[in-house]
Chain A
Amino acid sequence: MGLMQRFSTIFKAKANKALDRAEDPRETLDYSYQRQLEMLTKVRRGVADVATSRKRVELQVNQLQAQSDKLTEQAKKAISMNREDLAREALTRKSGLQGQMTDLQQQQAQLQGEEEKLTLASQRLQAKVESFRTRKETIKATYTAAEAQTRINEAFSGISEEMGDVGMAIQRAEDKTQQMQARAGAIDELIASGALDDASAIGGGDDISRELEAMSSHSDVESELAALKSGTAPAIEPGDASGGTTASAEAATQPEQEGQS
């Protein structure tokens, strides 16, 4: 076979090279078994690492989703106030978040896939290591060093190949997770810096919210003014939007207001 044959030859050569042979072949069994247990620990740690990355990405997806929902609310509010420009701005920001969310969701799916693969690899390796241990004990109990070699070669069949396979699977998973962590880190920084919060936090540094609020208080002021002009006018500077809240609070206490508003 062409490619599969070449690939097998290269892979097996490497897998065998990774096995150091001890003087007494029976010692090789114990040594290899230790290596197998180490690899098992490594693959389990690999599963845990990938799971941690996946959870981090999930958290980010949720954060972005919450921000995206807020922007939708803001757009609705802006439309109800006839401010299409503000609604457009909110939706534009939302679509910016959408791109990042799609990217994160793809990462999430990939990490999920890696996690499942490594979990299965860990189960396979565990079963093989256990199988190896049984054979190892039999060989040590039954055969002399001189007799053991053939049996040992048989025992090594499959396990060194599996070790090589699992080793490479962990390496690839680590490489992929690292790339994603770099991107996840950038998004964490973006969230921490408030660049995303600003676009959506109600009453915070968010310019859309600020403008919507300013508009609300401005229209409150206008309606109060209109009411006051038609009745007994208290001394309020017209157009003073910043004093709007105070003005309406004061206005509400005026008894003359009641019947006319």
Chain B
Amino acid sequence: MIVRIMAEGQLEIPDDQLDHLNELDAELEKAVSTGDEAGFRQAMSALLDAVRSCGTALADDALVDSDFIMPPADASLAEVRELLSSSDEGLIPG
């Protein structure tokens, strides 16, 4: 499967990593929904580490959709919440 880390690009991830990433993602979602800043940072970096360590970067000229998209690595909790709640505007400027 393909995961995009926003502002970094796309990575190919072996399918057998899905369960592990799911667990980390669930942690992240929990932290975001409860507004737990420390938990968010921790879960975010754990998920980023996992994706980066088991993923292989796609070629720059590859034109494929991602299966999953992660917020930018340096995004704050507030930014992530805003991105998730925004429905009509803000994400794609211009």
Contacts and interface: CB of A to CB of B under 8 A. Distances in A.
B7 A124 contact: no
B54 interface: no
Interface stretch (A6-14, A52-60, A183-191): A6-14
A169 B63 contact: no
Contact of B67 (A8, A11, A123, A163): A8
B9 A120 contact: yes
B30 to A, nearest CB: 8
Contact of A4 (B62, B64, B65, B69): B69
A146 interface: no
A170 interface: yes
Contacts of A121: 7
Given A127-B59, A168-B7, A168-B92, 10 more contacts: A1-B21, A3-B28, A4-B21, A6-B84, A12-B69, A120-B9, A128-B63, A132-B63, A168-B6, A169-B72
B62 A158 contact: yes
Contacts of A155: 63
Contacts of A157: 63-65
B35 to A, nearest CB: 14
A95 interface: no
A253 interface: no
A131 interface: yes
Contacts of B66: 8, 161
**A1, A12, A169 interface centre (most CB from chain B within 10 Å):** A1
Contact of A123 (B3, B60, B62, B69): B60
